[in-house]
Structure 1
Amino acid sequence: MEKLTNEFRVFRSQPHNMQVLLGVNMLYALVLPVVEVFVGAYIMRNTNDPAMVALYQLAMYVGIILTSVCNGVLLKFVKVNILYTIGILLSAVSMVVMMSLSSLDLLQLCIAGCAMGAASGFFWTNRYLLSLNVTEDDNRNYYFGLESFAFTIANIVVPLGVGALIAGLSGHQILGITFDVNLSYRVVTIITLCIAIIACYVLSFGRFENPHQKGFLYIKFHTLWYKMLSLAGLKGLVQGFLVTAPAILILKLVGNEGSLGVIQGVSGAITAILVYVLGRVTKPKHRTIVFGAGLTIFLVGSVVNGIMFSATGVVIFVLCKVIFQPLHDLAYFPIMMRVIDVVSKIEKRNEYAYILSHEFGLFIGRASGLILFIVLAFWVSEDFALKYALVIVALIQMLSLPLSKHIIKECNRLDA
């Protein structure tokens, strides 16, 4: 108990806005697993086509880019915390709308994907901007360690809870209403919307400022930023697969959605504690070590899945994915924000210009990865795509390690 009290004191010693933002993000952590895992599972259940899940994801990433540009314009007139609130609420509302559709054809799927992307665009770009402004390089390991801890715990609890709720409601009659799987999904989205509203209320306690300089659209950047965009592209290459692949693989080779929670919960608890401890004790100089560990774990999981392509292989892959994601983010986001700190000072530009540009870098990687999956699924086979696309992108992503080391070295040189 004394250790927990001490950790709470550490949290309370952080700047007020940082505490508020962490509180909001920890609440939103309860929403994100529903978006990431169960939306993909819902589409897979209703279309029985992994390529349709990938197309939905591609439409979502297009929506992110479009709203990221709109967000830059709106920042001239609207407070950043209001735009962040819109992103949180839209993500929940978009799920409600999608799951109220009686059928999912290609057009509806693309519209739903763009709508969810619009929500994500407002959410992630404003989250990056707020995180950049409420943290400094010295406390970003702690910030992202605690945030990753919350997201990892949520990735255990939420899938277990949602899987149990769907299994418990399906086939039962309550208050004269007979619940099937799809209606059970809709109950989940309503609960998700309520949590999103609470998160927005917590956000109102913060005192956040918009960027001072209003220009945000640029084509030419410092050489260091182009290197950061390459790193973003490598991150994006895998990111699309992390949203779609686990749900598709589990439904195809393991079983129903309830299995999602059981599998992720095995390694999630240990990972959550590990990431929090790393966030507390590591310094900026340790980021490449954490980064390399995450990349290696993901590569191992992808190779095992490709070789075995069985329920056991999927379990090992998802375990590796659960460990990889928070380790990767713990190192990646502080590196990104450090580069923005350095380059924005040199070029004297609005920080949002780099956040928007970063979204384009992520989009190129995400689109490339998803197109690779779709091409392999249509031109070879779905099984081939599920086996080997992950291995291909995991191998390519290993280039991130030497690139990140070079970027950190350049940051230190330019900021000396």
Structure 2
Amino acid sequence: MTFVIKIKKELAHYYQLPEKTRRLLISFLLYSTAYPMVSIFINAYIWKNNQNLPSLIAFHMGKFMIVPVIFFINGLLLKIFRINKLSFFGSFVIALGAISVVFLNNQTVFNFLSMGLLIGIGTGLYWSNRNYLTIKETDEKNRSYFLGLLFSYATIIALVVTLSIGWLIVFGLSYQTLMVVAFFLIIASGAIIYSRNYDSPRIGKLLISRAGFSWNKKRLIHLGLGLVEGLSFFVPSLLILIMLGNEGILGTLTAISSIISSVLIYYYGRKSKPSDHRKYFILSAILSLVFSLLLAIVFNKLTILIFTLLNGLIINFLWLTFMPIVMKNIDSDTINHEDNRFSYILDSEIFLNIGRIFSGLVCLAIAYRAGDINALRYSPVLLSVIQVLLFTYIENMKKVNIKPVI
């Protein structure tokens, strides 16, 4: 009976969200269902069929390089097309790219770079519009709940998807069948947004020519996040596949990580106050350094297990605690200039992907100099150290009175 009452309370809380926000959430949940298939298991497919770390890094570098460019192009397209149409088209291109990876005969680094560029085009269109809609359709009162529910569902569904699919692949499920399922889920996600009349942003200048002090700090934090988050796209998956086992083990460990994450993230999103974000962000960055240092010093199956189980949780907490602060900053800077809102989304993506590209280059350089295993072992701690040093510098930045100018 108590459980039923709790479910009713949670549903009542959900229905307090505006109708457009609820539909947006449903769309994002469908995408979250497909995401583990397109991220974790594409990594596994490329590695199993190629056994070459530079090819996998090239695939992700293609995405990282093209995404900011597409964010900018999307800003231009929003002057002509409605946001729901562009968001749907982005979903379609992501789905098409995922299908192409497993159905085409990709063997060279250039092939994988091209596939990364294709998925990156869709990612840029999808996420630039998704980020705007998230900011536009939520406010400071319901953002923590919205993001907490979204992150919690994403981690729970990642549990179900990765655990079941990992072992299904071991027992004969083809990657081609898996990507077809992902294709239709992503298309359905885009169709929900396409079917609603969401307001398109008013687009002014796309580039911020002179940012205020607060936003300059956010730029550097985005860059720092990219340093560590860039590796999370492929390093944990490869550590499991190379050192611990097959897709079944990959799915099982990802599922266990999802259990841990879902409980903590939902509780934080439900109970946290805006004043909590900063201290938990700092704690997450410190834990990222600690676990990557442990991996580098004691490189064995136990430390790999600990690192892969907790890496996703730490990345999620970094975003969960940082995004409400970013959104509040954007709300504040654009309160009388709504047509500048999209420029902040573009700006943050540029700095985030600079960090991601740098992380990929560092990992690639170590791989060429010391081999794939050493790249997976040492690149996380090197980039975590750089991240913490950057965040320390940001914390000690002296305020300069610069008025934001677009």
Alignment of 1:316-395 (within 5 A): 316-345=306-335, 349-395=339-385
Structure 1 residues 143 and 399: CA distance shift in structure 2, 3 A? farther
The count of residues paired between Structure 1 and Structure 2 equals: 399
Deviation (angstroms), 1:91:
1.3
The partner residue of 1:169 within 169, 172, 181 is 172
Distance in 1 (CA, whole Å) between partners of 2:106 and 2:61 is 19
Asked if 1:20 is matched to 2:20, the reply is: no
Asked if 1:298 is matched to 2:301, the reply is: no
Deviations 1:248-280 (A, max 9, x none): 111110111111121122232132022111111
The partner residue of 1:314 within 300, 304, 322 is 304
Query: Which AA in structure 2 matches 1:377?
Result: A
Distance in 1 (CA, whole Å) between partners of 2:172 and 2:251 is 17
Distance in 1 (CA, whole Å) between partners of 2:336 and 2:83 is 24
| 1:255 counterpart residue number | 245
| 2:213 counterpart residue number | 223
User: TM (normalized to structure 2)?
Assistant: 0.92
Deviation (angstroms), 1:155:
2.0
- Checking the alignment, whether the CA contact within 8 Å between 1:68 and 1:125 is kept in structure 2 is yes
| 1:178 counterpart residue number | none
Deviation (angstroms), 1:35:
2.3
Deviation (angstroms), 1:348:
6.5
Deviation (angstroms), 1:403:
6.9
| 1:104 counterpart residue number | 107
- Checking the alignment, whether the CA contact within 8 Å between 2:153 and 2:262 is kept in structure 1 is yes
| 1:235 counterpart residue number | 225
Structure 1 residues 49 and 292: CA distance shift in structure 2, 3 A? same
Alignment of 1:17-416 (within 5 A): 17-169=20-172, 184-204=174-194, 206-345=196-335, 349-399=339-389
- Checking the alignment, whether the CA contact within 8 Å between 1:67 and 1:121 is kept in structure 2 is yes
Deviation (angstroms), 1:23:
0.9
| Unaligned 5+ runs, structure 2 | none
- Checking the alignment, whether the CA contact within 8 Å between 1:85 and 1:200 is kept in structure 2 is yes
Structure 1 residues 406 and 336: CA distance shift in structure 2, 3 A? farther
2:280 aligned counterpart, secondary structure: helix
Structure 1 residues 406 and 269: CA distance shift in structure 2, 3 A? farther
- Checking the alignment, whether the CA contact within 8 Å between 1:297 and 1:320 is kept in structure 2 is no
- Checking the alignment, whether the CA contact within 8 Å between 1:300 and 1:320 is kept in structure 2 is no
Distance in 2 (CA, whole Å) between partners of 1:2 and 1:215 is 50
User: TM (normalized to structure 1)?
Assistant: 0.90
Query: Which AA in structure 2 matches 1:150?
Result: Y
- Checking the alignment, whether the CA contact within 8 Å between 2:33 and 2:161 is kept in structure 1 is yes
- Checking the alignment, whether the CA contact within 8 Å between 2:66 and 2:117 is kept in structure 1 is yes
Distance in 2 (CA, whole Å) between partners of 1:10 and 1:153 is 19
Distance in 1 (CA, whole Å) between partners of 2:301 and 2:131 is 37
Query: Which AA in structure 1 matches 2:112?
Result: L
- Checking the alignment, whether the CA contact within 8 Å between 1:84 and 1:127 is kept in structure 2 is yes
Bigger mean CA deviation after superposition, 398-407 or 186-195: 398-407
Deviation (angstroms), 1:31:
1.4
Distance in 1 (CA, whole Å) between partners of 2:55 and 2:99 is 19
- Checking the alignment, whether the CA contact within 8 Å between 2:91 and 2:190 is kept in structure 1 is yes
Deviation (angstroms), 1:399:
4.5
Bigger mean CA deviation after superposition, 223-232 or 233-242: 223-232
Distance in 1 (CA, whole Å) between partners of 2:315 and 2:221 is 15
Deviation (angstroms), 1:402:
5.3
- Checking the alignment, whether the CA contact within 8 Å between 1:24 and 1:202 is kept in structure 2 is yes
- Checking the alignment, whether the CA contact within 8 Å between 2:170 and 2:246 is kept in structure 1 is no
Deviations 1:355-389 (A, max 9, x none): 11111101110111111111111123322221111
